[in-house]
Amino acid sequence: MANSQVPVGTDPKYQDIMTSLDDDKIDMLAATSALQQQATDIRADRVNWQSYLQSQMISQEDYKFIVAFDVPESSKREDLLKSDRLQCARTFLNLLGHVSKDKTLRYILVLIDDMLQEDRTRVEIFHEYANKTKESVWSPFLNLLNRQDGIITNMTARVIAKIACWSQTAMERSDLHYYLTWLKDQLMAQNNEYIQSVARCLQMMLRIDEYRFAFISVDGISTLLSVLSGRVNFQVQYQLIFCIWVLTFNPLLAEKMNKFNVIPILADILSDSVKEKVTRIILAVFRNLIEKPEDAQVAKEHCIAMVQCKVLKQLNIFEQRKFDDEDVSADVEFLSEKLHSSVQDLSSFDEYATEIKSGRLEWSPVHKSKFWRENAQRLNEKNYELLRILIHHLETSKDPLVLSVASFDIGEYVRHYPRGKHIIE
């Protein structure tokens, strides 16, 4: 199954940002990350391959290859790979399987990562070897994710992302599930110094449509939003919101996205953010949430949710500002226009429904007796959807404001709808 790179090739804006965020450039951005800085030190501390040969820890054949490969001149590596492609995969996998010393494993992984970075078509070397030997491409790497050493596991994760994203062959389901679950758990790990590197792997993976759906099946969106709701630095904020942004290019995912409360969480970050790149990526997500859904009703609900989360107020502030990037100004203008027109078309019931679904209940104008006289029975629509959500808020919320508004609303429903008490019971 060939990798279906994002089915949005026709979207010029997507292409622009993807070009500006080409993998090599993102790697430059991430050069400040802990892993990249450590990789520089690892490269400088060369391995004595001779001692491994003498102690018979590696074969003569693997020794001959690695000594010829581990040289500063890229042209020599290139010639070696032309003449002996499969030996490259064989030697690297043998070394990963037989070397136990952390320091040497780190060095081998940096060599593999650099080799792939030099020419991304080299990922096929591992697939060709796996096909020939009838072995899994993924097992030798996935096994290393269980090591205790953070450099080894995160360097391995980088290599896996490259092979998974740059190859003609997609990662198979169970391996993919395992890898994405590992990335997700790393995002949630307390004080993970490699979180930028983990986010970087996800930025690559989520450009591919099959991988997006697999990520959702491991509860990935909730994890991204849970981390974003906490305290993370702006670089990680940017990377995780980038992940959400690429997900929203799939119309189906753009429609489901706000069920995870993405709009309230990103609206909060938008009002606090001082970094233009964070502002830019949030506005791009909001634009996709309006443009990509095929169901106009969903796009309308997204607009209302943005209005309720005070995004319009933020857009008014942005209209007074000069941005370095023209895309930001274009997105501000687009969103401003859409949100203003949604406010004009807004019935008080639409507004009420969006507020209830957002979980951010407050004493807004819709909680008045006049509203209930006109709309009480509408809480019965869609199999009592809004009523069930109100009851859910009562059962689960710890916020006194949410609890008082929800209980008031249920009281008004019972008061104004003749069979209300019976239904609630």
297 pLDDT tier (thresholds 50, 70, 90): confident
CA distance 362 to 372: 16
pLDDT mean across residues, the chain? 85
Three state DSSP letters for 38-76: HHHHHHHCCCCHHHHHHCCCCCHHHHHHHHHHCCCCHHH
Residue 4 lies in a domain: no
How large is the average pLDDT for residues 43-61? 87
What's the confidence (pLDDT) of residue 188? 92
Residue 132 lies in a domain: yes
CB 239 within 8 A of CB 203: yes
Number of domains making up the chain: 3
pTM of the model: 0.78
Angle, helices 150-166/123-133, rounded to nearest 10 degrees: 90
Residue 340 is part of which domain span?
A: 219-346
CA distance 134 to 87: 16
Residue 202 lies in a domain: yes
CA distance 162 to 144: 16
More confident residue, 286 or 72: 286
CB under 8 Å to 229, separation ≥6 — which residues?
A: 265
CA distance 384 to 398: 23
Amino acid letter, 291: E
Residue 146 lies in a domain: yes
The answer to whether residues 180 and 256 belong to one domain is: no
The answer to whether residues 150 and 244 belong to one domain is: no
How large is the average pLDDT for residues 71-84? 88
In percent, the amount of the chain with pLDDT more than 90 equals 45
What's the confidence (pLDDT) of residue 347? 64
What's the confidence (pLDDT) of residue 28? 45
Q: Please state which of the ranges 20-24, 211-215, 391-395 shows the lowest mean pLDDT.
A: 20-24
The answer to whether residues 171 and 42 belong to one domain is: yes
3-state SS class at 208: strand
Length of the chain: 425
Residue 96 lies in a domain: yes
Q: Is a pLDDT exceeding 70 seen at residue 21?
A: no
The answer to whether residues 267 and 137 belong to one domain is: no
CA distance 324 to 279: 12
Residue 267 lies in a domain: yes
Burial class (CB in 10 A: 0-12, 13-18, 19+), 41: exposed
The answer to whether residues 276 and 379 belong to one domain is: no
The answer to whether residues 327 and 406 belong to one domain is: no
CB 248 within 8 A of CB 298: no
Between the alpha carbon of residue 4 and those of residues 62, 170, 231, 240, 378, the distances in Å are: 36, 9, 34, 22, 43
The answer to whether residues 265 and 198 belong to one domain is: no
The answer to whether residues 285 and 378 belong to one domain is: no
CB 295 within 8 A of CB 255: yes
How large is the average pLDDT for residues 217-222? 92
Q: What is the pLDDT of residues 362-418, one digit of tens each?
A: 777 677 667 777 778 888 888 888 888 888 888 888 888 888 888 888 888 888 888
- The tokens for 164 are 């998974």
Tell me, what CATH number does 312's domain have? 1.25.10.10
- Please give the full DSSP string across 178-204, using - where no structure is assigned: HHHHHHHHHHHSTT-TTHHHHHHHHHH
The answer to whether residues 366 and 341 belong to one domain is: no
The answer to whether residues 235 and 279 belong to one domain is: yes
The answer to whether residues 160 and 267 belong to one domain is: no
Of 153, 175, 207, the domain-final residue? 207
Residue 16 lies in a domain: no
Of 166, 183, 207, the domain-final residue? 207
The answer to whether residues 375 and 238 belong to one domain is: no
What's the confidence (pLDDT) of residue 369? 66
What's the confidence (pLDDT) of residue 16? 46
More confident residue, 25 or 284: 284
- The tokens for 356 are 């209830």
Of 284, 319, 346, the domain-final residue? 346
Residue 163 lies in a domain: yes
